[in-house]
Amino acid sequence: MHKYIEKFEDLIRPVSWRSGMVINSPFEYLTSKKKLLMVGHNPGGVPQESNTTIKEDWIRHLDDPSFNALKESWGSYPEKFPGNHPIQLLYKAFLDNTSLTEEDILSTNVYWERTKSTELLKVDARLERSCKEGFLYNLEVHQPDCICFLGHGTVEVAGKWASVNLSRGSSNYPWGNNQKIKFQRMKFNGTGINTFSIPHPSRFGFGNDPERLTSILKALKKNGVT
């Protein structure tokens, strides 16, 4: 664990005072093997009350290793209803409908800097270098069985960092507008991994539609996570 913390603090340092979040999952579960890596594009306007810097976000996890950002209040969702952001609801659905536990899942983003929308994020050389190295290091340390990318734009970023990025087809996501769940086989630093990307939950969440949730759970199962 100590080596992992030191490595990430070195990566964080060049961008530490920018608004952002690094890892959402509890630090008490870091460095154990994961069944699933959940990867968003970059943090949005969360948490609601305190737009933490990257360094502050890191410290609040260090101060309380059991802290789970996936259970706090995000964005415009009322503080009395923490954990109700669409990404948080997806995380909860994975826990409720599979054998996955909190220890089995690592949640992060390809980019750590916070913006109100992905379109507003300006990726410079420092951010690109730190986040790419952090992403690859998380794969090396946690050896996830599968990656779920939140949004097809997110998998495009990771695809640039991969040595191999092959399409494995798609399945329907019942939202209209021909939304799809896309499957990939990717290789990072010589290690292959099955991945899939879903329409971004912030815009295409499953809500109260059981068919949408079922389609995501089937994608998870197709990648060996049940």
Give residue-wise pLDDT tens across range 140-197. Answer: 999 999 999 999 999 999 999 999 999 999 999 999 878 999 999 999 999 999 999 9
What's the predicted TM-score (pTM) here? Answer: 0.95
CATH class of the domain comprising 2-222: alpha beta
Say whether pLDDT at 73 is over 70. Answer: yes
- Using alpha carbons, select from 193, 199, 188 the residue that is nearest to residue 225: 193
